[in-house]
């Protein structure tokens, strides 16, 4: 077999795989980076990492020269069902999202629509090297919806966590439903390594703390809770304080966004060991508050990254890492400038956000067996390599390369649990046409339920008027033209 034949054939399931001669970001405790090194996978585990490995007979070789091998990335918060309406809300704020989610389209999702969104989102994860995704599934109106979500996740060979939620009812209501509890117990007892389970709900800060009953169910069932905390205008310090006072803040708890909180809340989170899921691409445009990257460093809080939803943003962790570095650095510079000072050394480094995107997610999920490339760990492995791209070389700073140079199209090979799910830039064994048909039928359903006018209006929120300021360096012609060319429309906000 020639070299090119070996490269084009997707490795067969069940045979060992070795990545040869790559730059390996092990993401181990010491932050070991190896160059010209191999990663050997046997069954579902990483068997060895190092240069010139001896491999079992029949091992399939993947040439990693010029590429970067890293652990599979982990997204700790994505509303996967919403991927069925990919990109629809590009110009939204949280206000428009809430209308869409709670009052309009969200209510129209049938079980098959949840499945369509989940399946597409799950494939999107694998394709981008995200080997574990937490499905923050907060539109499960019924257990039929939940069964559909589960079916879709199980149909895609990635690692997922179903974070069960239902925005159409109070968490104290749906967690009391015996059918929901039976389903949660079934998932928990299955101990499926590829499908974990959590509870997903928010804490409003209502002093009567109605969410207490839901936390008690989580405790009784032994399930972690993930919650949108510190979201401007929605959740705040009161929710954190209530959780803490009632003993519900645990190391397993994930606080999503955790943006508009005060020192007191960050201290409570730090003291109880939970982790924050930073979704910077989301926080930058929706308005939850600034991504709390300065605070997590200051208070020593564990961090993972997340993408939130593809109804607005992208679903890949390259964007998460890049947005997170950009936002933190912008804040650091702006804070200094307000003091008349200059930042000469940045506090947040590329290596750190790669850690957050890999081992940070593993920590948040309580999984010590993923998130790094070390012998004995589960084989969730990503190869970034694109020989046809001028962006692939020179490869000088591997962490910087992952964050600022690479993108999802450069993901060459992905293994989950030792199984090759993407190879030579293509998903393996996926009928994307069938998934497309499924999603198209969901879009058709939602569009006809809402009606054309509401559909178009939902995608195009009213534009606030912008006053063009007088400018002494410009003469009158420009201004009068502008007035005739649409000034009145602008006043009306169109």
Share in percent of the chain as helix, strand, coil (round to 5): 40, 20, 40
Q: Which stretch binds Zn ion (CB under 5 A): 160-168, 306-314, 356-364, 430-438?
A: 306-314
Any contact of residue 308 with Zn ion (CB under 5 A)?
yes
For the purposes of burial, counting CB atoms within 10 Å of the CB of 30, is it exposed (0-12), middle (13-18) or buried (19 or more)? Answer: exposed
Least separation in angstroms between CB 153 and Zn ion: 18
Least separation in angstroms between CB 308 and Zn ion: 5
Alpha carbon 91 to chain centroid distance?
Answer: 19
Least separation in angstroms between CB 286 and Zn ion: 9
Q: Which stretch binds Zn ion (CB under 5 A): 68-76, 287-295, 307-315, 322-330?
A: 307-315
Q: Which stretch binds Zn ion (CB under 5 A): 55-63, 104-112, 305-313, 385-393?
A: 305-313
Output 307 or 403, the one with its CB closest to Zn ion: 307
Whether the Cβ atoms of residue 425 and residue 107 lie closer than 8 Å to each other: no
Cα dihedral angle (357, 360, 364, 369), rounded to 10 degrees?
A: 100
Q: What is the DSSP letter of 369?
A: T
Output 308 or 417, the one with its CB closest to Zn ion: 308
Number of residues lying near Zn ion (CB under 5 A): 1
Least separation in angstroms between CB 312 and Zn ion: 10
Least separation in angstroms between CB 222 and Zn ion: 24
Least separation in angstroms between CB 279 and Zn ion: 7
End-to-end CA distance of the chain: 63
Output 203 or 414, the one with its CB closest to Zn ion: 203
Q: Which residue is nearest to Zn ion (CB)?
A: 308
Least separation in angstroms between CB 69 and Zn ion: 31
Least separation in angstroms between CB 167 and Zn ion: 11
Q: Which stretch binds Zn ion (CB under 5 A): 81-89, 308-316, 435-443, 470-478?
A: 308-316
Nearest to 145 by CA among 111, 101, 178: 111
Phi, psi of 272 (to 5 degrees): -100, 0
Output 23 or 254, the one with its CB closest to Zn ion: 254
Q: Which stretch binds Zn ion (CB under 5 A): 57-65, 123-131, 186-194, 303-311?
A: 303-311
Q: What is the DSSP letter of 202?
A: -
CB-based contacts of 486: which residues, under 8 Å, 6+ apart?
none
| Integer Rg of the chain from CA | 24
Output 256 or 403, the one with its CB closest to Zn ion: 256
Any contact of residue 202 with Zn ion (CB under 5 A)?
no
Least separation in angstroms between CB 205 and Zn ion: 17
Least separation in angstroms between CB 304 and Zn ion: 13
Output 211 or 308, the one with its CB closest to Zn ion: 308
Q: Which stretch binds Zn ion (CB under 5 A): 31-39, 60-68, 86-94, 301-309?
A: 301-309
Q: Which stretch binds Zn ion (CB under 5 A): 110-118, 127-135, 302-310, 423-431?
A: 302-310
**Residue span 245-274 as binding mask against Zn ion, x where in contact by CB under 5 A, dash where not:** ------------------------------
CA–CA gap between residue 468 and residue 293 (Å, rounded): 35
Q: Which stretch binds Zn ion (CB under 5 A): 52-60, 147-155, 300-308, 381-389?
A: 300-308
Output 38 or 308, the one with its CB closest to Zn ion: 308
CB-based contacts of 325: which residues, under 8 Å, 6+ apart?
348, 350, 353, 403, 404
Output 101 or 295, the one with its CB closest to Zn ion: 101
- Other beta carbons within 10 Å of 189: 9
Whether the Cβ atoms of residue 215 and residue 243 lie closer than 8 Å to each other: yes
Whether the Cβ atoms of residue 291 and residue 259 lie closer than 8 Å to each other: yes
Output 168 or 413, the one with its CB closest to Zn ion: 168
Nearest to 306 by CA among 423, 134, 187: 134
Whether the Cβ atoms of residue 169 and residue 197 lie closer than 8 Å to each other: no
Whether the Cβ atoms of residue 71 and residue 415 lie closer than 8 Å to each other: no
Output 75 or 308, the one with its CB closest to Zn ion: 308
CA–CA gap between residue 377 and residue 320 (Å, rounded): 25
CA–CA gap between residue 158 and residue 279 (Å, rounded): 21
Chain residues that interact with Zn ion, rule: CB under 5 A: 308
């Amino acid at each position: 077999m020639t070299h090119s034949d070996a490269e084009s054939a997707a490795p067969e399931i069940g045979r060992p795989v070795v990545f040869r001669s790559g730059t390996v970001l092990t993401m181990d405790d010491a932050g070991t980076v190896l160059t010209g090194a191999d990663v050997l996978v046997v069954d579902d585990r990483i068997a060895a990492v190092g240069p010139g490995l001896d491999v079992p007979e029949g091992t399939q070789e993947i040439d990693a020269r010029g590429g970067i091998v890293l652990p599979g990335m982990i997204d700790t918060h994505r509303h996967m069902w919403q991927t069925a309406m990919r990109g629809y809300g590009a110009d939204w704020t949280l206000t428009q999202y809430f209308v869409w989610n709670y009052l309009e389209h969200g209510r129209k999702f049938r079980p098959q629509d949840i499945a369509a969104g989940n399946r597409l989102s799950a494939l999107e994860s694998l394709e981008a090297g995200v080997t574990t995704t937490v499905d923050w599934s907060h539109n499960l109106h019924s257990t039929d919806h939940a069964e559909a979500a589960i079916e879709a996740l199980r149909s895609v060979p990635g690692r997922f966590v179903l974070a069960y939620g239902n925005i159409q009812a109070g968490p104290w209501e749906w967690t009391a439903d015996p059918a929901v509890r039976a389903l949660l117990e079934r998932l928990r007892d299955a101990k499926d390594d590829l499908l974990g389970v959590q509870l997903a709900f928010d804490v409003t800060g209502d002093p009567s703390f109605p969410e207490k009953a839901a936390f008690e169910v989580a405790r009784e069932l032994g399930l972690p809770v993930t919650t949108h905390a510190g979201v401007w205008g929605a959740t705040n310090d009161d929710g954190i304080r209530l959780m803490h006072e009632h003993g519900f803040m645990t190391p397993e708890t994930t606080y999503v966004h955790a943006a508009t909180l005060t020192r007191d809340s960050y201290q409570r989170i730090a003291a109880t060991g939970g982790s924050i899921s930073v979704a910077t691409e989301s926080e930058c445009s929706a308005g939850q508050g600034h991504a709390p990257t300065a605070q997590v460093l200051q208070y020593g809080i564990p961090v993972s990254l997340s993408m939130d939803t593809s109804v607005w943003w992208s679903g890949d962790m390259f964007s998460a890492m890049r947005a997170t570095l950009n936002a933190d650095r912008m804040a650091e510079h702006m804070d200094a400038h307000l003091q008349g000072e200059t930042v000469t050394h940045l506090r947040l480094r590329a290596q750190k956000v790669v850690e957050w995107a890999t081992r940070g997610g593993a920590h948040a999920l309580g999984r010590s067996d993923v998130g790094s490339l070390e012998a004995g760990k589960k084989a969730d492995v990503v190869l970034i390599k694109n020989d046809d791209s001028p962006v692939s070389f020179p490869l000088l700073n591997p962490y910087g390369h992952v964050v600022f140079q690479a993108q999802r199209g450069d993901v060459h090979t992905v293994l989950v649990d030792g199984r090759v799910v993407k190879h030579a830039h293509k998903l393996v064994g996926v009928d994307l046409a069938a998934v497309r048909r499924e999603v198209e039928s969901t879009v058709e359903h939602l569009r006809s339920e809402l009606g054309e006018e509401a559909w178009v209006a939902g995608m195009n929120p009213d534009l606030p008027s912008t006053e063009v300021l007088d400018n002494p360096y410009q003469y009158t012609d420009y201004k009068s033209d502008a007035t005739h060319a649409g000034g009145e429309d602008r006043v009306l906000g169109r």
